[in-house]
């Protein structure tokens, strides 16, 4: 039997909120099984994230069909070239639904440049304005775009009354410090368990518990000891364990703080 199979998923009988996953992208198990396994380890609520025009409606349908699932509306920077007036109209229409808790996943990604930088910036700024107008928090993706992310967020920070989260943080410590100073939260996922991710653990170490959110980004970034498998919300306990280790605090403290942080930010 492999080491992976010997490791059981912890359950501390305290509620957890999954703040960032892509339920419509999970393929290796049924949604019903994934939700059941997640409930077994304490996952009480799940936010499934929109990233492209094709899933703006599908994430909302998932949220409408399940009382413990919520969703966002927005285009990932990879899809910035697809941001049109028609897409924006759909986002605005869907934002009227009570199941939509944030604008996202929005931001900049200059690592892959799947969309030209200018189109990424334009889409980011237009969606930030929507968040300001609709008083919604934002879910931000940033990769190898620290300077531009900081500049754009700084322009909108005063108008973003509910701020938001910089999810799956892998950027510089100085960008983390700026985001914390501006009132944003930081989302940590399975990356903090990777041997190569000391830079992310360094950011975690300076992030107050009051500003930490837990996420999986499933089906991506499966934490150790389950690397190689499709990620899912029921692996959140391994992320919580690692946060407690890095922050030198109890697991109960992490659970209680991150649960409160998530409920407060997303009003769920």
Q: What's the average model confidence in pLDDT over 235-256?
A: 98
- List pLDDT tens digits, range 15-62: 999 999 999 999 999 999 999 999 999 999 999 999 999 999 999 999
Share of the chain above pLDDT 70, in %: 98
- List pLDDT tens digits, range 131-168: 999 999 999 999 999 999 999 999 999 999 999 999 99
* Domains of the chain and any CATH numbers: 17-266 (3.20.20.140)
- The answer on pLDDT for 1 being more than 90 is no
For the whole model, what pTM was predicted? 0.96
- The answer on pLDDT for 3 being more than 50 is no
Q: What is the pLDDT of residue 8?
A: 85
- List pLDDT tens digits, range 83-126: 999 999 999 999 999 999 999 999 999 999 999 999 999 999 99
Q: What's the average model confidence in pLDDT over 56-74?
A: 98
Q: Report the C-alpha gap between 237 and 11 in whole angstroms.
A: 7
- List pLDDT tens digits, range 196-229: 999 999 999 999 999 999 999 999 999 999 999 9
* HSE of 37, CA atoms in CB hemisphere, 13 A: 15
């Amino acid at each position: 039997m492999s080491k992976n199979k010997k490791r059981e998923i912890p359950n501390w009988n305290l509620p957890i909120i999954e703040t960032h996953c892509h339920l419509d992208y999970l393929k290796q198990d049924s949604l019903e099984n994934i939700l059941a396994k997640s409930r077994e380890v304490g996952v009480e609520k799940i936010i499934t994230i929109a990233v492209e025009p094709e899933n703006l409606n599908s994430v909302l349908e998932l949220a409408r069909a399940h009382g413990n699932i919520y969703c966002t509306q927005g285009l990932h920077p990879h899809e910035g070239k697809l941001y049109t007036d028609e897409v924006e109209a759909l986002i605005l229409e869907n934002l009227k639904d009570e199941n939509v808790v944030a604008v996202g996943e929005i931001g900049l990604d200059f690592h892959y440049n799947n969309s030209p930088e200018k189109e990424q910036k334009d889409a980011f700024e237009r969606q930030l304005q929507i968040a300001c107008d609709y008083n919604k928090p934002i879910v931000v993706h940033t990769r190898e775009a620290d300077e531009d992310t900081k500049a754009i967020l700084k322009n909108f920070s005063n108008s973003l009354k509910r701020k938001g989260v910089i999810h799956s943080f892998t950027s510089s410590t100085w960008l983390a410090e700026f985001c914390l100073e501006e009132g944003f939260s930081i989302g940590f996922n399975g990356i903090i368990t990777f041997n190569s991710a000391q830079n992310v653990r360094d950011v975690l170490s300076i992030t107050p518990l009051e500003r930490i959110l837990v996420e999986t980004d499933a089906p991506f970034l499966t934490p150790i000891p389950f690397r190689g498998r499709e990620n899912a919300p029921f692996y959140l306990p391994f992320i919580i364990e690692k946060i407690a280790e890095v922050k030198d605090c109890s697991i109960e403290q992490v659970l209680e703080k991150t649960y409160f942080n998530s409920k407060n930010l997303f009003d769920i």
